[in-house]
Amino acid sequence: MGPILTGLVLFGVLPGPLAGCTPQGMAVGIVAKAATMAMEERGFVGAVDDGAIDLAINGKLFETNEKLFRQVNVTVREGRVLLTGSVPRTDHRIEAVRLAWEVEGVREVLSELTAEDTSDLVDYARDVWLTNKLETTLLFDSDVQAINYSIDVVNGTLFIMGIGQDSAERNRVLAYAREMPHVRRIVDYTRLKTDPRM
């Protein structure tokens, strides 16, 4: 496998194991994923950089504590890292944040980790359903560039991270989030495209 193909596999451009894939299927998958990444506001290079950061943080979590790796969800946009999930102890929250900051390219770490998971299978299923429902709603709204948003729901708290084209689009996304049933809290980490800090 050449260096370019290896890089594409590492950053999620290629689907998992290549065994059993036809060359035509692989080509379609590569083109589709690359086109999607290029369409995002952060662009192809930004998406690859974020993918590398995500991979490095997850690698550090896994090496440090496999259980911590399974309990912490990592979302990366433009070098901004959002950590969500539930960990058993407060020192695990601190450790996850410390590990995230160790990765080159990280500009900000936003920790929404909670200690002690009180959710059950029903709560988890509801969180997954809410995440999928909001992502689908945004996808089918032509006034929202859904590709620029990441949605994560943990124990009824809905986290939104991404780049809004303007205030109207951002407000539209937040309005959809407020209409979602069973959401106890909404945490908005979106930035506007015109934000000078971007």
Could you tell me the fold of the domain covering 43-115? Histidine-containing Protein; Chain: A; (3.30.1340)
Q: Which amino acid is at 99?
A: L
Over its length of 198 residues, how does the chain's per-residue pLDDT go in tens digits? 444 444 444 444 444 444 445 555 545 554 454 555 555 565 556 567 888 999 999 999 999 999 889 999 999 988 889 999 988 887 888 889 989 999 998 888 898 988 776 677 888 899 989 999 999 999 999 999 988 888 888 888 898 988 899 999 999 999 999 999 999 999 998 888 887 765
Domain 121-192 in the same topology as domain 43-115: yes
30 by DSSP, 3-state: which? helix
CATH value of 121-192 in 3.40.50.460, 3.30.1340.30, 1.10.3210.10, 1.10.1040.10: 3.30.1340.30
Token pair for 146: 């859904």
**Where do the domains of the chain lie?**
43-115, 121-192
